A = this chain, B = another copy of it.
Amino acid sequence: MKSGSSFLLAARRCEIAELEQLAHTAELVGVTARFVHALQRERGICNVYLSSHGARFADLRAQQMAECEQVEGQVREHFERLDTEAHRMRNGSRLFSRVAVVLHGLDGLPELRARIAEQALGPRESTAAFVKLVAGLLAVVFEAADSATDPEVTRALVALFNFMQGKEFAGQERAHGAGVFASGASDAAGQQQWRHLVDSQQGCFQVFTEFADPETLRARDASTEPEVLAQLERLRRIGCSPHGAPLDPDLSQGWYEVCTRRIDAMRTVEDLQALRLRHLCERRIVQARAELRDQRAMLEALAAQARESGTKAPAALGPLLERSVLAMLQEQSRRLQAMGDELDAVRTALKERKVVERAKGLLMAHRNLREDEAYKALRQMAMNQNRRLVDVAEAVLSLADVLPGGR
């Protein structure tokens, strides 16, 4: 029969097993970040290629597709590895469901590319397809953050997820702005969407700032070039000028380049975060293993002392030894409780997105909308009412009971 001490050690072994699983997840997240970046570039290049009716970026596109395919292979390999340990995955069902959506999207990529090559679709349609794929990959990172059980690792994952999401909004802003400048005119609807993309970025980077570690924040600050930012703000101001003056289409190129410099700088920060995340997991595993060793040694020493003093039953260990074991038990309970509390606190940062996802699901079910349409409807409501997306989402959810056919 196992003793209390052996369960004390088993609890620690569970923690280690969870950390090891997290380490795999961290690797997957790192590769996913690289793939998202590659797809963002391909999206931008396709945009120019299609807008110029194939006149520009044909070579660059071929080059970028090759890079995408290479990273896609790595992502698929990591997915493959996930599957082999399917049954022990924490939150496995939700993560796998997200992976299924991504793989379905990836399977459609060759056809999408063929249609782009033939210019059988417009830049808007092409962009939408890439946006959807990237959203699927971000959902995988989100589930990884939501299922991690170590508060420090969760914190790092929440920071990284928000950074990636902010960078994606920055990428969408690049495409949107390029389109507006190229068209030579800026209308109210376009400006509203532009502001929405800027606000969304800010929201994400705010959460990132709250959860990132100091070194990552310093790296982010160091990577930010003041002249790039100044240029970005100047072009945003011109593009969003309410006076309705015609825009110089030549600004499109400059806008694209300044955005790209900014996004590429973000990529280095993202890479650093992924690296630090892996190191963090490794460090936590080493630490937990050392603690397990210490605990085991201490329990063995206590048992030896008990044997020497001629007793056997743990209950007869004597008050001093008894207290040592009890103190270890209490310390462990307290530590796990504190970890659980901290985890709850960090996870609330993920709540906003969940609320938006739920509201989207509600609209899809009730109005029979597609996912992108539901999101657009929410965003439109938020822009019209000048409220935050999450507030509108909450308002929608509060109406759930009065909507026809609600659950």
A94 interface hit (Cβ, 8 Å): yes
Q: Counting CB contacts under 8 A, is A104 at the interface? A: yes
> Cβ of A96 and Cβ of B3 under 8 Å apart?
no
| Min distance, Cβ A372 to any Cβ of chain B, angstroms | 12
Residues of chain B within 8 A (CB-CB) of A76 are 1-2
Asked if B14 and A96 sit within 8 Å, CB to CB, the answer is: yes
Q: Interface residue tally of chain A, by bracket?
A: 35 or more
User: In the complex, what residues of B have CB within 8 A of residue A109's CB?
Assistant: 315
Question: Which residues of A94-136 are within 8 A (CB) of B?
Answer: 94-104, 106-111
Question: Which residues of A303-361 are within 8 A (CB) of B?
Answer: 313-316, 322, 325-326, 329-330, 332-334, 336-338, 340-341, 354, 357-358, 361
Per-residue CB contact flags for chain A residues 1-27 toward chain B (1 = under 8 Å, else 0) read 111111110111111011000000000
A243 at the interface (CB under 8 A from B): no
A100 with B341: in contact, given A2-B83, A315-B108 (CB under 8 Å)? Answer: no
Q: Is A222 an interface position by the 8 A CB rule?
A: no
Name the CB-closest residue of B to A6. Answer: B83
Query: Which residue of B8, B15, B83, B329 contacts A10 across the interface (Cβ within 8 Å)?
Result: B83
The SS class assigned to the A binding surface is helix
Cα of A364 to Cα of B76 in the assembled complex, Å: 50
For the complex, what is the distance from the CA of A314 to the CA of B110, rounded to whole Å? 11
Chain B positions within 8 Å of A89 at CB level:
14
Q: Does any Cβ of B come within 8 Å of A92's Cβ?
A: yes
CB-CB nearest in chain B for A365 = B334
Any B CB within 8 A of the CB of A79: yes
A358 touches B333 (CB 8 A): no
A13 touches B357 (CB 8 A): no
**Of the residues B2, B17, B322, B354, contact of A87 by C-beta under 8 Å:** B17
CB neighbours (8 Å) of A6 from chain B are 83
Q: What 1/0 mask marks residues of chain A from 256 to 270 whose CB sits below 8 Å from any chain B CB?
A: 000000000000000
Interface membership of A367, Cβ < 8 A: no
Question: Is A80 in contact with chain B by the CB < 8 A criterion?
Answer: yes
Are the C-beta atoms of B11 and A103 separated by less than 8 Å? no
Contacting residues, chain B, for A93 (C-beta < 8 A): 11-12, 14-15, 18, 336
Report which of B11, B92, B102, B337 forms a contact with A357, defined as CB distance below 8 A: B337
CB of A159, distance to nearest CB on chain B (Å): 21
Q: Are A97 and B7 in contact (CB under 8 A)?
A: yes
Rounded to whole Å, the gap between the CB of A177 and the closest CB of chain B is 31
User: Does the CB pair B337–A102 fall under 8 Å?
Assistant: no
Additional A-B contacts beyond A100-B329, A101-B333 (18; CB < 8 A): A1-B80, A2-B76, A2-B79, A3-B103, A4-B101, A5-B100, A7-B99, A10-B83, A10-B96, A11-B94, A11-B96, A11-B97, A14-B92, A14-B93, A108-B322, A111-B313, A337-B357, A340-B354
Cβ contacts A to B, 13 pairs, < 8 Å: A2-B76, A2-B80, A4-B100, A4-B107, A7-B83, A11-B96, A11-B97, A14-B89, A17-B86, A97-B336, A101-B333, A108-B315, A334-B365
Per CB-CB distance, the 7 closest pairs between chain A and chain B, nearest first, are: A14-B92, A4-B103, A11-B96, A4-B104, A7-B100, A17-B87, A14-B93
